[in-house]
Structure 1
Amino acid sequence: MEKEQDIKYFTQIPAWVDELDNISDFQARLIGYIYTFENITGTVFTSNQRLAKRFHKSSKTVQTALSDLYNKGIVHSTLVYKEDSKLVDKRYLEVVKPTGIPTPENEGTLYPKTSIPYPQKRAYPTPENGVDNKSINKSINRLNNNNVHFEEIWSLYPKKSGKKVAEREFNKAIKNGVNPDDIKNKILEYNKQIEAKQTPKQFIKQGSTWFNQSCWEDEYDLTPINGNAKEPMKNGGYGTR
């Protein structure tokens, strides 16, 4: 299994980034990080969590910054799914220079970019044009796949209100590189916290609120308040430990 990428020593920010007046300093650093990886390895698949650790930011801050760069067309994201599965395997990132921005004469690359944008599994040779059509087709259908994931995850949430808002925020998170399994596991943790703390129903977050606030990034306290911890049973209920 491929390890997540990291750059330990330096990054190279393209000179044309100085011509952009609608991005933050942090976004410029993200562009440099992705751009450097493209020049060295030809492909970038670092997760939001790794970027957050690298830049000492929260995952939500990274997600927001990347989402804005997607909308501006400066960074392009492509999702690749696991073979014969609807689970996201990797998210590939690519820097795209906006049209109308001149390239300085002294701007070059540290290493020549590979003509193959994405690494291929040995069982699937790369087409002559370097594009994995199977991955592209799956990316086009990612929203449908996300809906399948969402229904499964939504069935686990304890307070099912605001489903449309929750689904919208879920799809947005997946597009920005959040692993659906991470969301699922955090909902299960939230359920355990509710049981451990005996949280009254009126204080349980509505589904729309939990997803809108990206609560899969929160830490949950599973320490029981009276020593009578409960564990989830197979049928979805809870039993005393």
Structure 2
Amino acid sequence: MSEVKWIKLSTQMFEDEKIRLIEHMPEADTILIIWVKLLAQAGKTNASGFIYLNENIPYSDEMIATIFNRPIATVRLALNTFEQFGMIEILDNNFISISNWEKHQNIDGLTKIRENTRKRVQRYRERQKSLTGNVTSNEDETCSNALEEDKNKSKKEDKNNIYSNEFEQFWSIYPRKVDKKKALKSFKVAVKNHSLKTIIDGTRKYAKQVEKTDKQYIKHPTTFLNNDSFIDGFEEGGSRYGANQDATAIKEQYGLDF
């Protein structure tokens, strides 16, 4: 589904008893921001209030902390609070669902998008009538083109959203976070040639391998992706080079970009 560009927030939301209770908790402001971000993320997913990376992969606490740019401890406190207050449901498979999502989903907005397309075609027809006095077959073609344009735009948004979600999963576990925009471009190329599972599994192994290595000796994410390093035979539990190894030798041996 295409993501919803906006959601509904009541002007009386801060009069709600649950929100009032949250406002008296530690990290209250951050917890409320996380709540709004969850609503926005549910709108992006556009799956009846569910929030997930894709239909097979739920968001972990760590992934949410990375995407929302908030401390993991506060994210866990917020999710636990929302669940206790009945604001969200966390299923056995860890998928998160916003309770009473129909209160927040902008159904009117979705209808308005369709209505705007209809009106745009109607205005074109009226202009053609004023010029020619009749409606030609070209008008039907214009209507079809307008609908096709909206359909293609929706497909493009879906594709970009999928890429963004899959990349955030990669980014959340990659041990050196630099040049995110360049890394996203490289990721899009990599995911066309390899499965997401291959990339993620290889990234986890690499992160494990270099967990005790100085950051400067860890590959740039762009280099890692461009060289298909995620399919290398990494050894679990240890690095194939140490922090004291000569930097030049490391660069030559592993193609590091630093």
What is the TM-score normalised by the length of structure 2?
Answer: 0.31
Structure with the largest fraction of helix = 2
Higher alpha-carbon Rg: 2
What is the TM-score normalised by the length of structure 1?
Answer: 0.33
